[in-house]
Structure 1
Amino acid sequence: MGTVALAVTEGMLHFELSVAHEVFGSAPDAVAVPWYDISVCGPGPVHFGRFRLEPDHGLDRLRDADTVIVPGWADIDVAPPAGLVEAVRAAHDAGARVVSLCTGAFVLAAAGLLNGRRATTHWAHTDVLAARYPEVEVDPDVLYVDNGSVLTSAGKAAALDLCLHLVRLDHGSSIANTVARRLVVPPHRAGGQAQFVTAPVPARDDHPLAALLPWIIERLDQPLTVADLARHAGMSARHLGRHFHAATGTTPLQWLLTQRLRRAQELLENTDDSIDTIAAATGMGTATTLRRHFHRTLGVPPDTYRRTFRSGPRPLPDPATGQAEQVRSGG
């Protein structure tokens, strides 16, 4: 896979473009293998704020590349240019390996390259991708998906994960690890993008659950049942379930589990509490139960999550507000 073409037009995100150019643009020191021949292909100059990028070639040159990379598409509500879509499709038809980074998946989907295939994009846009292109099997939980000739990544940093994966495929793990060390990133991250998603808590004042949801949040350490929730809300369990689905898109117990896991994430990030203590504080009962649900939902065990998201000692959250006190370092 010697030649890499970056497909760019106005409306592309510069971060993903820069990531791809950094990985494939120059060989790391002490790597004695032929490196990639990289080029930027586009219909004309591309502007990123005050910066201007002049492509090396037109989009027609994509079909000559071994690998075509489509960076993130800035505005997913705007259809990508027909010329870009057609050029990407033509490149794939000519045998190129086509890769999207972040929301670049919308370009591949518009080209029909994701039909009948599993794919991903940034977690904030997976629902839109699935609704707009129902023939695509959208997986919101992974960092990237490799279908062989078509690959897609989740958002931002996951673009780097996929680029390193390509180097690993082409040159082996040792060289991919060398590239990762140069970039000061892990060669392979555990888990999926679910661990980076903040679980929303509906806060509207006009729905029937407005008083119930805060009541639940304050009692996550208690063994709550659907009957308990329905009793507090003053409605039947079936009626409660209908309101929950309308307000949150899920069942009462699944929403409750999501909030328990979110509280566990906060405690792992902000305290030194043991897994047993966190299990009790979140109503999970035992560390074994917490580990099982945490790993199944977030893709990593609690200890791994804590190592990833703890950068150092942090203050405990205020019991009254749930917010950590701001600590200022001395002069």
Structure 2
Amino acid sequence: MAVSYTPSPLDRDATFYVAGHRGLVGSAVWRNLEANGFSNLVGRRSNELDLRNRDAVFEFFAETRPRYVVLAAAKVGGILANDTYPVDFLSENLQIQTSVLDAALKYDVERVLFLGSSCIYPKYAAQPIREDSLLTGHLEPTNDAYAIAKIAGIMHIQSVRKQYGRPWISAMPTNLYGPGDNFSPTGSHVMPAMIRRYDEARASGAPKVTNWGSGTPRREFLHVDDMASACLHLLEHFDGPVQVNVGTGEDVTIKELAEIVADAVGYVGEIEWDTSKPDGTPRKLLDISQLRETGWSPEISLQDGIHSTVQWFRENHSKIRLK
């Protein structure tokens, strides 16, 4: 069935479900929607609604009947977690996605935005990575299970568009960071892991900090509040079957990132690199031409974003995820 839909401003009074509204991305989406006048936001904590439980999800949709959905809920983690628990990352994310998307279809949700990850692209994709690089090469083996789950989500969205004509879309963000991140040693990504490690080293007076890998891989980082802004922008200005890359269009080496983080927390000790640990993908920079064509650009610089995240980390240290 062909899709015929013209994006326009969303109804601020309609029921809007943010799946994963307590997570890094979901909480930012929630803040952004509130700031933009949405008055009927719906969210459930994981202990209130297990999104892996298909029957419970269908009951929730039957009760709330959302008009719009942002699917930001996912099991996420860094290289260590992905490499150690691939079954969990594959199975749980597939369960979450199929439960929410199937329920959204059954209960006639008008607009769905599915959030994936830039790890869906081949390890050695040409840089910057275009959307049409999807499924053109081998994935990074340390997180291929998670990537496959996210690719399945993209295909789910495309299939709903093809079979049912629903104007659902997908967005693939680059590495995200900001308020609400996971700072645990085993579950965090590189940015929050560095912020925690360097701030603790500063506080303890440690003479050196050792980071994983060589420090040479290049990564792109997007503040989560910019990501949230892009989500609403896409819902109101974009419609199409192809996933949309969301990033800054700029990257830095992990060594450069370490220096920025050390400066932001005030750490002045030595920085070392453990080259026996994996680097992961050598470079991952997204081509955001499609997103820019819709009229959106990021606003938060990397330096400003890291400084504000360090401040948030310190102010919320007693209640954030540290284990």
Structure of higher RCO (CA pairs closer than 8 Å, 6+ residues apart): 2
TM-score, structure 2 length as denominator?
0.35
State which structure, 1 or 2, has the greater radius of gyration over its C-alpha atoms.
Answer: 1
TM-score, structure 1 length as denominator?
0.34
